[in-house]
C-alpha cells in the first residue's frame, strides 16, 4: 500500500511517507472488524445492484420476447426482492459507515490535539493559529475521508468494475475490447494531470489557512477595530482573502474537472460505439435485444467505478497534501518532557536558581548566569524593565522551557527530574491576562482541579471575596461567564484567578504583573488577600509598581539578563 502511494504521489521521502501511513493505520487498525463488516455489506449491496441488468435481460429475452408470462412474473418478483434488499443494506451501510467515519475522524483529531498540547509556547509564538486550525479541521478531515470513504469507494468500485467487465465479456467479448482500450489512455492522462492537482490543492489549503488566521486575529479584538474606525479596512482585507480563496478553488475545480472529464468522455464515446455495433447485430438478428440492453447497462455501470477510481486518484493527491501538513505538526518534538522515572514531588523546600542560562532560538541571550536562593514560604519581589526576562524566568520555573545550562532546583531536586504535570499543578501563576472560559463560574474556578468537591469551590470563592459577584449573578456559581468573561471587571477577574490558584493548592504562587490592570486600591486588596490566603507558601510577585513589591522578604532586580539582589527597606 505504501509503495503504491509512494509511486502515485512521487514522495521525495518514501520513509517519511511510510511513517505517516503507519501513523494513519494505527487509527484504522482498531476498527478492522467494523471495516470488515462494512466491506461485506458493501459487497452484497454491489452484487445486488449488478444483478439487476441481468434480470432485465432475462425479463426481456425469456419473458417478454418469449411470451412466457409466468417466467416474466417470477423474474419481476426477483427484481423487486433484490431492490428491497439493496435499499435495506444501503440504509444499514450508511448508518454504520457514518459511525465508523466519526470514530476515526475524532481519534485522528484528538491525537493531533494532544500532540499540540505538549509543544512549548515558543512553537505557538511562531505559528499562525488559523493555520493550526486549518490543519486540525480541514486536513484531518481530508485524511479521514481517504482512510475510510475512499477505501469503501475503491472496494465497491473494483468489485463493480470487475463484475461488470466479466459480464460484458460474457455478453460479447468483441464489444468488451472497447472498454479495455480506455485503460492505457486514462493512465497516461492521469499521470499528466497529477502534479497540477497536487499543487492546486496545496495552494488552496494555504488560502484557507489565511482566512482562518484572519478570523482568529480580528474577531477577538473587534472592539479595538471599531474604536480605531477600521471596519472597512478589515472588511476589504477579508474580501481580498476571500477572492484569493475563490480564485484558487476555481482553479482546482477546473483541474479536477479535466482530470475526470477526459476519461469520462472517452468512456461515453466507447458506449456510443457499442450501441452502434450491437444495434447492428440486433437488426441483423445475430444478437438479442435484452443482451444489447444489458450490455449497454453494464457498460454504463462500468463508467461509475471508473469515475470513482479516477476520483480516488485525485483523493490521493489531496490526501497526500493534507497528510504532509499534519505530519509536519506531528514532527514537531516537545522541548520539555516528563522523565521515565520521575522523583516524588517535594512538599516544600528551598527554590534555587543555579548558574541559569537561557536564550530563545534566534535571539540574544535572555538570562545569563542567574543565581538566587529562595527559602520556602517567603514573599519575593522581582522587578526589572520590560522584556528583560522576568516572565521567561517563570516559564523556566514551570518548565515551559528548559535552560540551556544551569539548573532550577526545588528542595535540592532538579525540576527536570519531576513529573511535569505534578510540577505545574503545584506552581500556580496568576498573570496579567486572566484566562476565562465560556463555562460557568464554578467551572472556571475548578479548571485546574476539575474533580474538586463543590464545597471546596464555594469555600475558595468565599476566601477570595467573590461573594458580591456570586450574589449578583442570576445562577450564582452556576452562572455562565460568557466569552472570556468580558462582562467582568479587572478586580473580579483577579479574584477568580486567586480563588482558582487557592483551589490548586500550590507550593509556589507567582503573580506576574497580575495587578497591573487594576487601581492601587484594588491592588492592595488583592495583595492582602494573597498574603492572607497563601501565608507560609513561597510567593513571587513580578511588577513595575513599587507598591506591589512592598513588604517583600526578598527583592531581586533583573537587569540585562543578570539577577541582582536588592536589600529590602528594613535591612537598610
pLDDT of residue 9: 44
Q: What are the tens digits of pLDDT across the range 251-310?
A: 888 887 887 777 767 777 777 777 778 777 877 777 777 777 777 777 767 766 766 776
- How far apart CA 390 and CA 368 sit, in angstroms, is 12
Provide the percentage of residues in the chain whose pLDDT is more than 70: 90
Angle at 434 between CA 433 and CA 437, to 5 degrees: 125
Quickly tell me which residue has 472529464 as its cell.
261
- How far apart CA 31 and CA 144 sit, in angstroms, is 13
Higher pLDDT, 539 or 545: 539
pLDDT band of 6, cuts 50, 70, 90: very low
Q: What are the tens digits of pLDDT across the range 426-444?
A: 888 888 778 888 788 888 8
The torsion defined by the Cα of 178, 179, 181 and 185, in degrees rounded to 10, comes to 130
Global confidence as pTM? 0.70
- CA atoms within a 13 Å half-sphere pointing along the CA-CB vector of 490: 16
Higher pLDDT, 207 or 193: 207
Q: What are the tens digits of pLDDT across the range 66-118?
A: 777 888 788 888 888 888 888 888 888 888 888 888 888 888 989 999 888 88
- With CA atoms as reference, report the closest residue to 443 among 491, 391, 485, 396: 485
pLDDT band of 336, cuts 50, 70, 90: confident
- How far apart CA 294 and CA 274 sit, in angstroms, is 12
Flag whether pLDDT at 570 surpasses 60. Answer: no
pLDDT of residue 283: 76
The torsion defined by the Cα of 43, 168, 273 and 48, in degrees rounded to 10, comes to -30
Q: What are the tens digits of pLDDT across the range 212-265?
A: 778 877 877 776 677 667 888 888 888 898 888 888 888 888 887 887 777 767
Flag whether pLDDT at 417 surpasses 90. Answer: yes
Burial 269-308 (b: 16+ CB within 10 A, else e): ebbeebeeebeebeeeeebbebbbbbbbbbbebbbbbbbb
The torsion defined by the Cα of 17, 23, 28 and 30, in degrees rounded to 10, comes to 150
Average pLDDT over residues 369-396: 87
pLDDT of residue 359: 86
Higher pLDDT, 546 or 508: 508
Flag whether pLDDT at 11 surpasses 50. Answer: no
pLDDT band of 414, cuts 50, 70, 90: very high
- How far apart CA 470 and CA 450 sit, in angstroms, is 19
How many Cβ atoms are within 10 Å of 13's Cβ, its own excluded? 11
Q: What are the tens digits of pLDDT across the range 133-164?
A: 888 888 888 888 887 777 777 777 777 778 77
Tell me the three cell numbers of residue 489: 471587571
List the domain boundaries for the chain: 2-330, 375-407+415-571
Flag whether pLDDT at 328 surpasses 70. Answer: yes
Q: What are the tens digits of pLDDT across the range 459-517?
A: 888 888 888 888 888 888 888 877 766 778 777 888 888 888 888 888 898 988 766 66
Fold of 375-407+415-571: Rossmann fold (3.40.50)
What are phi and psi for residue 471, nearest 5 degrees? -65, -30
- How far apart CA 52 and CA 56 sit, in angstroms, is 6
pLDDT of residue 140: 87
Q: Tell me the average pLDDT of the chain.
A: 80
- How far apart CA 38 and CA 101 sit, in angstroms, is 11
pLDDT of residue 182: 65
Average pLDDT over residues 533-544: 84
- 539, β-bridge pairs: 379, 509
Fold of 2-330: ABC transporter transmembrane region fold (1.20.1560)
- How far apart CA 29 and CA 539 sit, in angstroms, is 50
Rounded to whole angstroms, the maximal C-alpha distance in the chain is 120
pLDDT of residue 4: 39
pLDDT of residue 571: 45
Amino acid at each position: 500500500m505504501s509503495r503504491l502511494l509512494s509511486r502515485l504521489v512521487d514522495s521525495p521521502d518514501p520513509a517519511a511517507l511510510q511513517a505517516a501511513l503507519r501513523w494513519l493505520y494505527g487509527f484504522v487498525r482498531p476498527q478492522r472488524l467494523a471495516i470488515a463488516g462494512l466491506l461485506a455489506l458493501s459487497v452484497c449491496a454491489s452484487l445486488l445492484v449488478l444483478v439487476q441488468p441481468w434480470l432485465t435481460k432475462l425479463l426481456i429475452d425469456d419473458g417478454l420476447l418469449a411470451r412466457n408470462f409466468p417466467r416474466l412474473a417470477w423474474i419481476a418478483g426477483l427484481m423487486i426482492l433484490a431492490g428491497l434488499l439493496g435499499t435495506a443494506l444501503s440504509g444499514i451501510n450508511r448508518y454504520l459507515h457514518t459511525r465508523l467515519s466519526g470514530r476515526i475522524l475524532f481519534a485522528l483529531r484528538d491525537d493531533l490535539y494532544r500532540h499540540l498540547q505538549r509543544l512549548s509556547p515558543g512553537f505557538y509564538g511562531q505559528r499562525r493559529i488559523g493555520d493550526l486550525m486549518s490543519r486540525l479541521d480541514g486536513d484531518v478531515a481530508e485524511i479521514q475521508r481517504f482512510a475510510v470513504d475512499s477505501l469503501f469507494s475503491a472496494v465497491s468500485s473494483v468489485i463493480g468494475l470487475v463484475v461488470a467487465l466479466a459480464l460484458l465479456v460474457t455478453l460479447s467479448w468483441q464489444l468488451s475490447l472497447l472498454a479495455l482500450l480506455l485503460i492505457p489512455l486514462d493512465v497516461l492522462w492521469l499521470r499528466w494531470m497529477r502534479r497540477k492537482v497536487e499543487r492546486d490543492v496545496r495552494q488552496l489549503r494555504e488560502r484557507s489557512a489565511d482566512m482562518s488566521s484572519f478570523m482568529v486575529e480580528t474577531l477577538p479584538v473587534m472592539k479595538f477595530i471599531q474604536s480605531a474606525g477600521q471596519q472597512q479596512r478589515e472588511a476589504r482585507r477579508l474580501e481580498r482573502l476571500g477572492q484569493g480563496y475563490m480564485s484558487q478553488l476555481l482553479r482546482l475545480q477546473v483541474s479536477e474537472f479535466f482530470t475526470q472529464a477526459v476519461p469520462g468522455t472517452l468512456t461515453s464515446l466507447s458506449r456510443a460505439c457499442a450501441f452502434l455495433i450491437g444495434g447492428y447485430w440486433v437488426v441483423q438478428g445475430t444478437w438479442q435485444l435484452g443482451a444489447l440492453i444489458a450490455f449497454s447497462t453494464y457498460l454504463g455501470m462500468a463508467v461509475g467505478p471508473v469515475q470513482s477510481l479516477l476520483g480516488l486518484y485525485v483523493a490521493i493527491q489531496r490526501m497526500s497534501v493534507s497528510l504532509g501538513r499534519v505530519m509536519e505538526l506531528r514532527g514537531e518534538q516537545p522541548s520539555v518532557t516528563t522523565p521515565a522515572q520521575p522523583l516524588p514531588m517535594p512538599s516544600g523546600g528551598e527554590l534555587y536558581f543555579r548558574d541559569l542560562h537561557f536564550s530563545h532560538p534566534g535571539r540574544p541571550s535572555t538570562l545569563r548566569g542567574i543565581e538566587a536562593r529562595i527559602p520556602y514560604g517567603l514573599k519575593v519581589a522581582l522587578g526589572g524593565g520590560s522584556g528583560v526576562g522576568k516572565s521567561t524566568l517563570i516559564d523556566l520555573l514551570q518548565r515551559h522551557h528548559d535552560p540551556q545550562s544551569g539548573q532550577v532546583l526545588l528542595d535540592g531536586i532538579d525540576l527536570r527530574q519531576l513529573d511535569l504535570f505534578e510540577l505545574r499543578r503545584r506552581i500556580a501563576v496568576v498573570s496579567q491576562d486572566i484566562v476565562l472560559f465560556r463555562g460557568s463560574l464554578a467551572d472556571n474556578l475548578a479548571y485546574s482541579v476539575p474533580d474538586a468537591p463543590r464545597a471546596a469551590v464555594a469555600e475558595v470563592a468565599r476566601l477570595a471575596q467573590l461573594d458580591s459577584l456570586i450574589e449578583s449573578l442570576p445562577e450564582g456559581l452556576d452562572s455562565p461567564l460568557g466569552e472570556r468573561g468580558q462582562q467582568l471587571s479587572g478586580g473580579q477577574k483577579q479574584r477568580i484567578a486567586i480563588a482558582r490558584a487557592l483551589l490548586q493548592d500550590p507550593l509556589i504562587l507567582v503573580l506576574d504583573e497580575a495587578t497591573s490592570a487594576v487601581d492601587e486600591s484594588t491592588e492592595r486588596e488583592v495583595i492582602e488577600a494573597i498574603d492572607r490566603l497563601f501565608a507560609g507558601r513561597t510567593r513571587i510577585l513580578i511588577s513595575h509598581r513599587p507598591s506591589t513589591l512592598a513588604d517583600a522578604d526578598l527583592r531581586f532586580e533583573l537587569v540585562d539578563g543578570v539577577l541582582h539582589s536588592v536589600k529590602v527597606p528594613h535591612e537598610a
